[in-house]
Chain A
Amino acid sequence: MPPHRSAPSTAFIDPSRIDAILASAVPDAEDRAFVVRCILGEGPAHHRGVNYVLLRLLGLLVDRLGGADMAALRERGTMPVPMKVPPHLERQGSLMTYPLALPIAPLSELAPAATPEQSAMVECLSDGPPQHALANAAMVWLIGAALDRIGERPPASARTSTRPRTKSSAPPKR
């Protein structure tokens, strides 16, 4: 039998931090509270901890790049994250979805829109239990925002360095 292992502590989780990060992706406070609970409050402890750490890090990345423009990301299209209920319990004519959708623009960096490849990516990201599917969607929002910020910046060769200029050293002799 595997050795007994207790669940890791998740005392470091501060849901208000993730709530703030997702504020512009899910503007309605009640909707956002539901999403944050699914990401941080439900499922195994290690998943909840991982979700928190990765979203915080991505949030920091976006902040340091100048902040997120979620509206711009939303305008380029989203796909719903379906709520998984047994097929016989689905409501006909009413899509049961979570209030956090999956932005498509970042995925278009990897596969053209409306292709089977991109559809498969969407399916992989939005499948599984909500603590996975919603965390995936939240991360794609932040990655998309970061990519947008990086895309706005001039290429490295065109940027003026703020570092002190030094004489280039000669290449090492062989």
Chain B
Amino acid sequence: MTQADVELPAGLDQAFGAVAGELGQATSSWLFVRAVARCAGDRAVEGLADTAGPQFVVLDAVARGWLAGVREQVVDPRPVLEAIGSATRLVVVGVEATFLDALVARINPAVKIAMIAHSPFAVDWDRVLDNYGGRVERVDLDTFQHWAGGKSALLTFAYGQNDSRTIVAPLWLRACGADVRAQFRALVGWNVLEAPMNLYPRWLVEVDVDSFTHFVPGT
């Protein structure tokens, strides 16, 4: 089956880029895959992967997973809450709305949460943070160390695991330098992708799983 068999609206990849900035690549991928499958069936999901997958490898992974039978996104914040432990400050590096929503709903209300407002996509950060009703504060890449401390944790989202390696947004490397590593008690990676990627992780970067103090695997 090829994309030629299925009519997909033009500009889906552009639309995906617009949404991914504010919702996150995994969250947006599930949104698009479900919508395309509902409207045009699994053939169209394959077409979506063929068309937009090379540019957006997380979308490719979610679409291929869908075709292989993975129809539910697993979102369980409990291991992440364990990893964060008794930290009183949490800085989130990157966006994955579905996962962050679940985490914010369960986390101790006394824990202060911030998100680094930095993305390769065009993002309206006020709109992103308005979703959390003031619960999540905005910090910038050059000032987030204001939140550092012996009771502070840094969290990012990871996209699949292949043995000892995982994939993260480049922002994680910008944020989690040698200085910052010793300023946050927990460096948490939350794998939000059920299966490893098949494509070269374009626009993302590979890191050692061991570089996190806590790595929460996917299913």
Residue pair A96, B178 in contact (C-beta under 8 Å)? no
Residue pair A85, B213 in contact (C-beta under 8 Å)? no
The segment out of A33-41, A51-59, A148-156, A157-165 that lies at the interface is A33-41
Residue pair A89, B182 in contact (C-beta under 8 Å)? no
Q: A37-B213, A83-B183, A89-B143 are in contact. Are A30 and B148 (CB under 8 A)?
A: no
> Would you give the 0/1 interface string for B155-193, flagging 1 where the beta carbon is closer than 8 Å to chain A?
000000000000000000000001001110110000000
> Would you give the 0/1 interface string for A91-104, flagging 1 where the beta carbon is closer than 8 Å to chain B?
10010111100000
> Would you give the 0/1 interface string for A64-102, flagging 1 where the beta carbon is closer than 8 Å to chain B?
000000000000000000010110011100101111000
Q: Which of A28, A37, A42, A83 touches B148 (beta carbons < 8 Å)?
A: A83
A86-B145, A89-B148, A98-B150 given. 9 additional CB < 8 A pairs? A30-B86, A30-B186, A31-B185, A34-B150, A38-B182, A43-B182, A89-B143, A91-B149, A131-B182
Asked if A130 is at the interface (CB within 8 A of a chain B CB), the reply is yes
A129 surroundings in chain B (CB, below 8 A): 182
B145 surroundings in chain A (CB, below 8 A): 85-86, 89
Q: A30-B86, A37-B213 are in contact. Are A96 and B149 (CB under 8 A)?
A: yes
Residues of A within 8 A of B (CB): 28, 30-31, 33-34, 37-38, 42-43, 83, 85-86, 89-91, 94, 96-99, 129-131
Q: Tell me how many residues of B have a C-beta within 8 Å of chain A.
A: 16
Residue pair B146, A42 in contact (C-beta under 8 Å)? no
Asked if B79 is at the interface (CB within 8 A of a chain A CB), the reply is no
B149 surroundings in chain A (CB, below 8 A): 83, 91, 94, 96-97
Asked if B54 is at the interface (CB within 8 A of a chain A CB), the reply is no
Residue of B nearest to A94 (CB): B149
Residue of A nearest to B143 (CB): A89
Q: Which 9 A-B pairs have the closest CB atoms?
A: A34-B185, A130-B182, A89-B145, A99-B150, A30-B85, A89-B146, A38-B182, A42-B182, A85-B145
> Would you give the 0/1 interface string for B28-42, flagging 1 where the beta carbon is closer than 8 Å to chain A?
000000000000000
A129 to B148, CA, bound (A): 15
Residue pair A85, B182 in contact (C-beta under 8 Å)? no
Q: Closest Cβ of chain B: how far from A99's Cβ, in Å? A: 5
Residue pair B181, A85 in contact (C-beta under 8 Å)? no
Q: Which of B86, B146, B181, B182 touches A91 (beta carbons < 8 Å)?
A: B146
Q: Closest Cβ of chain A: how far from B96's Cβ, in Å? A: 25
Sample (25) of A-B pairs whose CB atoms are under 8 Å apart = A30-B85, A30-B186, A31-B150, A33-B213, A34-B186, A38-B182, A42-B178, A43-B178, A43-B182, A83-B149, A83-B150, A83-B183, A85-B146, A85-B183, A86-B145, A89-B143, A89-B145, A89-B148, A90-B146, A96-B149, A96-B150, A97-B149, A97-B150, A98-B150, A130-B182
A99 surroundings in chain B (CB, below 8 A): 150, 185
B148 surroundings in chain A (CB, below 8 A): 83, 85, 89, 96
B178 surroundings in chain A (CB, below 8 A): 42-43
Q: A30-B86, A85-B145, A86-B145 are in contact. Are A42 and B150 (CB under 8 A)?
A: no
Residues 27 to 84 of chain B near chain A (Cβ within 8 Å): none
A85 to B148, CA, bound (A): 8
A150 to B176, CA, bound (A): 44
A135 to B181, CA, bound (A): 16
A98 to B184, CA, bound (A): 10
Q: Closest Cβ of chain A: how far from B90's Cβ, in Å? A: 14
A42 surroundings in chain B (CB, below 8 A): 178, 181-182
A37 to B145, CA, bound (A): 19
